[in-house]
Amino acid sequence: MVRVFLAALFLIFFLFHASYGGEQIPIYCAGEKDQPSWSFLKRYFDSKSYSVSIYEKTDSLEKHLENANRINKTGASLMLVVDFRIGGKNEVFAAVSNARKGKDKILAIDEIPGQYVDRSAEVAGCIATPFRKTVKELPLFPLLGIDMPALFLRIECTKEKADETLNVVNDCLQKYFQRGKKNEG
């Protein structure tokens, strides 16, 4: 009887965890990493049951490739490049890579993000629209060699609007992850 109860409890936990949150999100820190703002961002994502790993920005291609290999091995289904700060205004800017997919079987490092541009733009658009912004296409160094959908977000918000702003981002991420699960099933 105890085994059946424990098995049922484990199954319920597994199903709840799989249906909400639990997604792994690598976050590449772009811009200045202001400790209070980033602590707030990490706590927010942790509270939503995401598994977040943060990667520091670098100007070194060698260090970036090491990070890209680690990020690609995570099995995550989305990467965020984030410039986040709590400040005096409420602004959100979203961008995706302007890379295009190559025609060869083996892609160059700068062509890899190109195979995910449509999916990346879909998530970025979902986030940008409530803030009445359009998604920009830019050459994004942090996305070189990243083998998954990825987008850049610059978020500045007041302390009072921080939860509200991040809730919009979270809602869009959840829509993306749920759609992905429906497509897998």
Per-residue model confidence as pLDDT tens digits over 119-152: 999 999 999 999 999 999 999 999 999 999 999 9
On whether residue 16 sits in a domain, the answer given is no
What pLDDT sits at residue 80?
Answer: 97
User: Which pLDDT value is given to residue 36?
Assistant: 87
22 falls in which pLDDT band (50, 70, 90)? confident
Q: Does residue 50 lie within any of the structural domains?
A: yes
User: What is the pLDDT confidence band of residue 179, given thresholds at 50, 70 and 90?
Assistant: confident
Q: Which of 140, 149, 138 is nearest to 179 (CA)?
A: 149
**Model pLDDT, residue 2:** 44
Residue 17 pLDDT: 41
Read out DSSP for 35-102? HHHHHHHHHHHHHTT-EEEEEE--S-HHHHHHHHHHHHHTT-S-EEEEEEEE-SS-EEEEEEE-----
Give the pLDDT band of residue 10 (cuts 50, 70, 90): very low
pLDDT confidence tier of residue 6, bands split at 50, 70 and 90:
very low
In a domain, 179, yes or no: yes
H/E element, 125: helix 117-128
Does residue 6 belong to any structural domain of this protein? no
- Once rounded to an integer, what is the mean pLDDT over residues 138-167? 95
Name the average pLDDT for the chain. Answer: 86
What's the pLDDT tens digit per position in 60-113? 999 999 999 999 999 999 999 999 999 999 999 999 999 988 788 888 888 999
Q: Which of 149, 178, 176 is nearest to 26 (CA)?
A: 149
Domain boundaries, position 162 = 22-184
Q: What is the pLDDT confidence band of residue 159, given thresholds at 50, 70 and 90? A: very high
Number of domains in the chain: 1
| Nearest Cα residue to 147 out of 109, 102, 100 | 109
90 part of a folded domain: yes
Residue 84 falls inside a structural domain: yes
Q: Is residue 28 part of a domain?
A: yes
Q: Judge contact between 167 and 157, C-beta under 8 A.
A: no
Read off the CATH number of the domain in which 105 is found. Answer: 3.40.630.40
pLDDT band at 181 (very low <50, low <70, confident <90, very high): low
> Within a domain: residue 116?
yes
User: Binning pLDDT at 50, 70 and 90, where does residue 1 land?
Assistant: low
In this structure, the number of other CB atoms found within 10 A of the CB of residue 35 comes to 8
Residue 8 pLDDT more than 70? no
What letter represents residue 10's amino acid? F
